[in-house]
Amino acid sequence: MPREAASGRSRPTDGPVGHRFLQILPSLEALLASIVAVGEIGDKTQPLALMLAVRLRRPVPIVFGILVATLGMLIADVPVVLLGNIGARRIPFKLVRRIAAALFALMGVIALVGPLPG
């Protein structure tokens, strides 16, 4: 009997429940990211829309403008998401992590030392 089974603990991938969870995980991540994105859009535009609508007493054009701006932002994001998906398939993740770590360290050094003269 495996040690995990004897102790009553199991790994997340053991059995059909863990397997199903790992299959829906990307969908769950996309759902949560979408909820956060929509929440962030609402965070910034709703108070502005309310203030402008009350001040100018013209809520329909203001709300319509905000909806058009949000739609424009989403349209601009689609090509970036598609290119990112293509890049994620072609560029090794380990390389991306190393480049990100190097840039993060460089920014830390610049923050500590200050910008280069010139």
Read off the pLDDT of residues 53-98 as tens digits, 9 standing for 90 and up: 788 887 788 778 878 887 888 898 899 999 988 988 999 989 999 9
Is residue 66 within 8 Å of residue 49, measured between CB atoms? Answer: yes
Which carries the bigger pLDDT value, residue 13 or residue 101?
A: 101
Q: Which residue has the tokens 């502005």?
A: 48
| Average pLDDT estimate for 2-27 | 56
Residue 62, number of CB atoms within 10 A of its CB = 20
| Average pLDDT estimate for 9-20 | 54
Rounded distance between C-alpha atoms, residue 95 and residue 71, angstroms: 34
Q: What is the dihedral of CA 12, 18, 19, 24, to 10 degrees?
A: -110
- pLDDT bracket for residue 104 (50, 70, 90): very high
Read off the pLDDT of residues 16-50 as tens digits, 9 standing for 90 and up: 555 565 566 667 777 777 777 777 666 666 677 77
Which carries the bigger pLDDT value, residue 37 or residue 114?
A: 114
| Residue spans per domain, the chain | 15-91
Token representation of residue 45: 């535009």
**Residue 116 to residues 3, 25, 106, Cα–Cα distance (Å):** 57, 44, 12
Token representation of residue 65: 């403008």
Residue 30's SS3 state is helix
* The pLDDT of residue 43: 63
Mean of the per-residue pLDDT values of the chain? 77
- Residue type (1 letter), 57: R
Residue 49, number of CB atoms within 10 A of its CB = 17
